[in-house]
Amino acid sequence: MKFADLRLAEPLVRAVTSEGYSTATPIQSQAIPHVLEGRDVLGCAQTGTGKTAAFALPILHRFSESPRPHGTPARVRCLILSPTRELATQINDSFRAYGKFLKLRSAVIFGGVGQNSQVQALRNGLDVLVATPGRLVDLMGQGYVDLRGVEVFVLDEADRMLDMGFIHDVRKIAAQVPAKRQTLMFSATMPPEIRKLADTILRNPVSVQVTPPATTVDRIEQSLYFVAQRQKPVLLAHLVNELPMSRALVFSRTKHGADRVVKQLHARGIKSEAIHGNKSQNARERALANFKSGKIPVLVATDIAARGIDIDDITHVVNFDLTHEPETYVHRIGRTGRAGASGVAVSFCAPDEKDNLRAIERLIRRSIPVKTDHPVYPVSTEGEHDPRPQRQPHQRNHSRQGQQQQPRRPQAERASQSAGRGAGVQFSPRPAQPQSGRRPSQPGRPAQARATHPLHRHPQSGRGAGRRRSF
């Protein structure tokens, strides 16, 4: 279906055409008519299917047909919640691109950066506000956000917000939005918890489901390597060079694991960068820009950070660590093979990840073909999975080379010799200290005043006895 056939305003059709789009995707052709009618929508579609335009275009059409009355408070008319900073930025960019011929204002707010510019944007008045739940709740608590004028409430990537623990913030925000509103919820997967949330915030929604949650794209070639965990970096470097991988997205289970993969690739002469929650906003944006421009062929990411990555022409997706969530596997490999293009998804399976593999294959209802063209692995690769230097056992230094250590004498013999050495030895008492509290000056050294510590011990007293006290 053409965008011109969806009854969208002419400025929107012109803007979409200028972006290089003319035909709507299945999720767009199904969802846009319902949103234009004012219905609540529950949409389920994989990443890369055009969910953002599915709600952005009808919202912009609605605001262009009913502009804000002159003189009314400049309150937020549309609130969109996103789980990550990257995805929030991407959504705001889409609204600006599609609405560039309309006189509408939008802004994005998220954590990890200063709030002054975000607060100023709120004070200036907005039509569309894109936000991450954490920063929005923070600004609401400070009294900077007024949601009483919200007409459309959108939750994008709702399943990921649930995984990140934002469900309580989402409920808190939803309670501040007017009850008379239009609510749109989009998710890549539809677990039971998301359906429960939908039942509480949606009213008689229209369900739009383009592909089943467990369906993988047929154009994506999937393959599997059984490999030890310590040998995964060697295999990854081999595949990057031999296939070759011109634009590969590598998924790591943890943030520290992502940094470790980048370090191991650098050691093998492969340019790469990592993107995850511990990186600053500037570092994440720089890594994405380098990946989009082709300066680096490999981007290593965690699942949460990857939700905001919207990059075309990703040739390969590598599951460096197999996820324990089968639905996440489908979401990962959906990063390649977009817009009718073909793609390749490669998975590494260590011995302790076989349970994850079985769960994935049960969900997608197919066996992933196993590859056996492994490279020649080093004989010893123990140090590759742990870059920290190994601690060497402590060895005593002897003054003479080749000297053998003498056996220790019995304890009784050592004690008797110690007593004999100490017999007849007399200790002379130390001279009394001057009353002024100063020690006698030594030759060649000027006398210095010394403050007496209240817990100073007397040299001839027992442990803890004879402590001087100052009042």
User: Do 58 and 52 form a contact (C-beta atoms < 8 A)?
Assistant: no
Q: How sure is the predictor about 385, in pLDDT bands with cuts at 50, 70 and 90?
A: very low
Looking at the fold, whether 191 and 284 belong to one and the same domain comes out as no
Beta bridge partners of 273: 299
276 located within any domain: yes
Lowest mean pLDDT among 140-154, 341-355, 410-424: 410-424
Average pLDDT of the chain is 82
User: Do 160 and 304 form a contact (C-beta atoms < 8 A)?
Assistant: yes
Looking at the fold, whether 195 and 63 belong to one and the same domain comes out as yes
Is residue 217's pLDDT more than 90? no
Residue 442 DSSP label = P
Q: Which domain holds residue 157?
A: 3-209
Average pLDDT for 123-131: 93
Give the integer Cα–Cα distance in Å for 156 and 153.
10
Lowest mean pLDDT among 15-19, 22-26, 73-77: 73-77
> What's the structural domain count of the chain?
2
Give the integer Cα–Cα distance in Å for 434 and 455.
19
The pLDDT > 90 percentage for the chain reads 52
Among residues 98, 87, 81, which one has the least CA distance to residue 20? Answer: 98
272 located within any domain: yes
pLDDT for residue 400: 46
Q: How sure is the predictor about 9, in pLDDT bands with cuts at 50, 70 and 90?
A: very high
Looking at the fold, whether 81 and 21 belong to one and the same domain comes out as yes
Is residue 176's pLDDT more than 60? yes
* pLDDT single digits (tens) 312-344: 789 999 999 999 988 889 888 888 877 666 789
pTM: 0.67
Looking at the fold, whether 48 and 180 belong to one and the same domain comes out as yes
105 located within any domain: yes
Domain boundary among 334, 359, 375: 375
Looking at the fold, whether 162 and 201 belong to one and the same domain comes out as yes
Domain boundary among 359, 375, 391: 375
Average pLDDT for 404-417: 53
160 located within any domain: yes
Residue 163 DSSP label = H
pLDDT for residue 165: 82
Is residue 454's pLDDT more than 70? no
pLDDT for residue 72: 65
pLDDT for residue 468: 46
**Cα→Cα distances 116→125, 133, 139, 144, 179, Å:** 15, 18, 11, 11, 30
The residue with greater pLDDT, 411 or 347, is: 347
User: Do 141 and 173 form a contact (C-beta atoms < 8 A)?
Assistant: no
Is residue 236's pLDDT more than 70? yes
Q: How sure is the predictor about 389, in pLDDT bands with cuts at 50, 70 and 90?
A: very low
Average pLDDT for 356-374: 93
Q: How sure is the predictor about 382, in pLDDT bands with cuts at 50, 70 and 90?
A: very low
Give the integer Cα–Cα distance in Å for 153 and 180.
10
Q: Residue 161 belongs to a domain with what CATH number?
A: 3.40.50.300
Looking at the fold, whether 184 and 306 belong to one and the same domain comes out as no
Q: Is the dihedral of CA 275, 276, 282, 288 positive or negative?
A: positive
Is residue 70's pLDDT more than 90? no
Q: How sure is the predictor about 212, in pLDDT bands with cuts at 50, 70 and 90?
A: low
433 located within any domain: no
Looking at the fold, whether 347 and 274 belong to one and the same domain comes out as yes
Looking at the fold, whether 26 and 106 belong to one and the same domain comes out as yes
Is residue 110's pLDDT more than 80? yes
Domain boundary among 312, 342, 375: 375
Give the integer Cα–Cα distance in Å for 221 and 211.
18
Q: How sure is the predictor about 299, in pLDDT bands with cuts at 50, 70 and 90?
A: very high
Average pLDDT for 111-115: 88
Average pLDDT for 440-469: 49
235 located within any domain: yes
Looking at the fold, whether 201 and 235 belong to one and the same domain comes out as no
Looking at the fold, whether 58 and 95 belong to one and the same domain comes out as yes
166 located within any domain: yes
Looking at the fold, whether 179 and 251 belong to one and the same domain comes out as no
41 located within any domain: yes
DSSP result, 97-146: HHTTTS---EEEE-SSS-SHHHHHHHHH--SEEEE-HHHHHHHHHTT---
Is residue 239's pLDDT more than 80? yes
pLDDT for residue 470: 43
Looking at the fold, whether 129 and 153 belong to one and the same domain comes out as yes
